[in-house]
């Protein structure tokens, strides 16, 4: 299955889960109505008989009230939980008490984790996930959470950091990246919400039993002159207790059914994630050894939410009496699938001889963070600015991107096939990128001041334009940032153009840690730098698109599928294809090829004046809501336009990566696009 099929399969499993959930709700409602009938009979001392006598003897509104109250309780539990988790992966990590690891952390084990995340994120074509550590958890475990690949977080236990070497940690993180790319995170969060609704029924039953017992004891021993309760009061207590007991039993059975469903879905996804991690790292011994250590040392989680998140962890987080409740296949079975029969004996011997990896991990000195002055200016006026065509003087080198004529040797099918499917070659390419980065630039991306400086340096032009841009930064009380940005200009020019996009991808996650007010201020400065020469080049549009995606106001929850066919988004597709035409050779025939690839009627591309930033961004948002299986056709159509001359320039390739990111379809680096720096 390719990336889009995996996304479709995950959505289909979500729908199946909803059907199972609704069936469970129907059974629970029926059981509670039966319980209500029994309690009513006990309260009125009327015998119940089967047939018409049963419903005839019970008030007509009783079943309606029981059904309405039950549905309200379940809906409240599910919706309140999903609302609490709508903020995405960070909300899930906070729920288990995990601590955010700052991007400039110098703690050796945390630095190693951050380095691995950077490598895998660049190789995958997604934003570097935020890292969290569960400090109080000594077991070996980890999880990924979020609603989309570019908003994911990865949390690991302290035991994972301390007990795994780099290869083993790399295997665990590769497994979690597979969950990110396979669409499992959204499904996992929905599972939490579904079961939370059913749990509410059992929780209400426990509350009734507990409160009844407490009130009974309190009444019995109060000094009221009458030590014992009346017979009617005892009967009432008994009925309340029975109602609570019934609710608890029915709720427990519902929860049990929900956990069986959760376990069945999760076990299937774990084998896939293991296999994908090996394809990514080509090191089955890394993840195999991590699994072996979990089998030996355990991966138990002490948090009260361990069961709620049991299906999200790398290994079993709770012990279960019955194997059908296990959310993960047995460790032995997972190892055998990865490495073949007898692998455990091999791993045992190797781990026994394995020297303890030194804790020291390179952590370069980082500049101190500083404030970022200035108020966030309104950006609506920029939305009307057209994007300059290449013929219109869009000198890409003037915006710090350069190398517009450099070519990438690839085919359209290779590009589409690589979406969401990073390989070892992509991982090695990402490592080469990081090795080529000058140390001062790489370290700068990890600090809030340095990341701003790197971002702004990518937008600095030449001559008078640069002078005006730097003066604007100084006017907004960012003298230190302006100074650093000026220092970075020459190192950026020496870098190959293909390395600058990954540099931006390293800086943006650091800026994402800023409060929203400061992120708005960064976006305002980006706007001013782009407007300095009164046009928006293609390179600037790529940068602006990524900045707004990562630093703009977060949209909670998962976006639904809106367009099941490209026909309902034909106008939006035409806008994006028109942009690509004017960014390339400006050939109307290329536009016709793209429209034909989508099965749409060919027409002339829109003129550049109509391709405002606001129009293009609105079109991209609508196209993001395409059904997963419809996105490959659109990406192929885009490639048909940019490769109409059977060539793909570096800037066109990076534009394709930005477009894919906007579609939640992460595109890894184009494999031959990593060249050595001379």
Using an 8 Å Cβ cutoff, are 227 and 57 in contact? Answer: no
Q: How many secondary structure helices (H) and strands (E) does the chain include?
A: 26, 4
Hey, what long-range contacts does 356-364 have (CB within 8 A, 24 or more apart)?
357/165, 357/166, 359/108, 359/109, 360/108, 361/108, 361/109, 361/111, 361/112, 361/115, 362/111, 363/105, 363/106, 363/107, 363/108, 363/111, 364/439, 364/442, 364/443
CB contact set of 438 (below 8 Å; sequence gap of 6+): 491, 495
How far apart CA 630 and CA 507 sit, in angstroms, is 32
Which pair of tokens denotes residue 244? 């609570």
Identify the sign of the CA torsion 323, 325, 326, 329: positive
Q: Is the Cβ–Cβ distance between 365 and 507 less than 8 Å? A: no
CA distances to 207, 227, 425, 428 from 217, rounded to whole Å, are 15, 11, 70, 69
Written as one string, the DSSP assignment of 547-571 is: HHHHHS----SPPPP-BSSGGGGHH
Distance separating the N- and C-terminal Cα atoms of the chain: 40
| Strands in 60-202 per DSSP E | 99-100, 130-134, 142-145, 153-157
Torsion of CA 59, 65, 66, 71, to 10 degrees: 160
Segment holding 381, helix H or strand E? none
Q: What does the alpha-carbon distance between residue 85 and residue 88 come to, in Å, rounded to a whole number? A: 6
Instruction: List the catalytic residue out of 176, 540, 572, 652.
Output: 176
User: How far is residue 430 from each of residues 104, 122, 153, 166, 362, measured CA to CA in Å?
Assistant: 20, 6, 20, 17, 18
Tell me 417's DSSP state.
H
Q: Give how far the C-alpha of residue 152 lies from the chain's centroid of Cα atoms, to the nearest Å.
A: 3
Q: Give the integer Cα–Cα distance in Å for 91 and 291.
A: 27
State yes or no: is 176 an active-site residue: yes
453-491 exposure pattern, b = at least 16 Cβ within 10 A, e = fewer:
bbbbbbbbbeeebbeebbebbeebebebbbebbbebeeb
Catalytic residue ranges: 176
């Amino acid at each position: 299955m390719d990336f889009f099929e995996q996304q479709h399969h995950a959505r289909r499993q979500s729908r199946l889960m909803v059907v199972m959930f609704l069936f469970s709700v129907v059974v629970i409602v029926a059981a509670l109505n039966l319980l209500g009938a029994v309690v009513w009979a006990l309260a009125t001392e009327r015998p119940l008989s089967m047939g018409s006598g049963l419903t005839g003897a019970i008030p007509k509104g009783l079943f309606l009230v029981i059904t309405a109250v039950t549905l309200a309780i379940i809906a409240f539990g599910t919706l309140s939980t999903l609302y609490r988790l709508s903020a995405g992966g960070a909300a899930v990590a906070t729920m288990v008490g995990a601590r955010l690891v700052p991007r400039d952390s110098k703690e050796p084990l945390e630095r190693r984790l951050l380095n691995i995340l950077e490598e895998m994120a660049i190789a995958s074509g997604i934003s570097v996930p935020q890292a969290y550590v569960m400090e109080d958890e000594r077991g070996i475990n980890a999880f990924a959470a979020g609603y989309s690949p570019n908003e994911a977080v990865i949390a690991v236990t302290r035991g994972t950091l301390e007990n795994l070497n780099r290869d083993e940690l790399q295997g665990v993180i590769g497994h979690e990246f597979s969950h990110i790319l396979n669409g499992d995170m959204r499904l996992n969060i929905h599972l939490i919400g579904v079961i939370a609704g059913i749990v509410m029924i059992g929780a209400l039953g426990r509350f009734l039993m507990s409160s009844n017992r407490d009130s009974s004891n309190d009444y019995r021993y109060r000094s009221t002159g009458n030590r014992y309760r009346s017979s009617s009061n005892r009967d009432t207590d008994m009925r309340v207790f029975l109602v609570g007991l019934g609710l608890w039993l029915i709720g427990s059975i519902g929860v049990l059914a929900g956990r069986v469903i959760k376990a069945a879905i999760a076990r299937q996804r774990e084998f896939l994630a293991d296999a994908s991690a090996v394809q990514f790292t080509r090191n089955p011994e890394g993840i195999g050894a991590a699994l072996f250590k979990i089998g030996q040392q355990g991966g138990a989680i002490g948090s009260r939410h361990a069961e709620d998140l049991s299906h999200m962890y790398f290994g079993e987080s709770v012990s279960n009496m019955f194997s059908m409740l296990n959310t993960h296949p047995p460790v032995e079975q997972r190892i055998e699938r990865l490495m073949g029969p007898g692998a455990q004996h091999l791993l045992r011997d190797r781990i026994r001889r394995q020297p303890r990896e030194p804790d020291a991990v390179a952590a370069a000195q980082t500049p101190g963070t500083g404030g970022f002055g200035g108020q966030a200016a309104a950006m609506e006026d920029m939305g009307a600015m057209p994007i300059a065509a290449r013929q219109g003087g869009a000198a890409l080198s003037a915006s710090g991107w350069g190398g517009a004529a450099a070519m990438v040797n690839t085919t359209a099918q290779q590009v589409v096939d690589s979406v969401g499917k990073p390989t070892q070659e992509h991982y090695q390419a990402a490592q080469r990128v990081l090795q080529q980065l000058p140390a001062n630039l790489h370290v700068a991306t990890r600090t809030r001041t340095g990341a701003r400086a790197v971002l702004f340096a990518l937008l600095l032009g030449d001559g008078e334009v640069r002078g005006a841009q730097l003066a604007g930064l100084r006017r907004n009380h960012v003298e230190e940032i302006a100074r650093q940005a000026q220092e970075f200009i020459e190192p950026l020019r020496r870098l190959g153009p293909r390395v600058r996009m990954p540099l931006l991808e390293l800086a943006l996650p650091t800026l994402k840690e800023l409060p929203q007010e400061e992120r708005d201020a960064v976006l305002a400065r980006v706007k001013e730098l782009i407007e300095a020469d009164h046009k928006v080049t293609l390179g600037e549009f790529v940068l602006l698109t990524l900045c707004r995606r990562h630093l703009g106001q977060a949209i909670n929850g998962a976006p639904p599928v809106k367009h099941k066919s490209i026909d309902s988004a034909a106008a939006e597709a035409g806008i994006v294809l028109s942009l690509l035409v004017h960014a390339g050779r400006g050939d109307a025939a290329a536009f016709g090829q793209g429209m034909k690839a989508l099965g749409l009627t060919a027409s002339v591309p829109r003129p550049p004046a109509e391709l405002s930033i606001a129009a293009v961004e609105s079109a991209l948002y609508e196209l993001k809501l395409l059904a997963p299986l419809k996105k490959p056709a659109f990406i192929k159509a885009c490639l048909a336009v940019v490769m109409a001359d059977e060539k793909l320039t570096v800037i066109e390739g990076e534009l394709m990566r930005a477009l894919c990111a906007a579609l939640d379809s992460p595109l890894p680096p184009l494999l031959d696009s990593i060249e050595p720096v001379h």
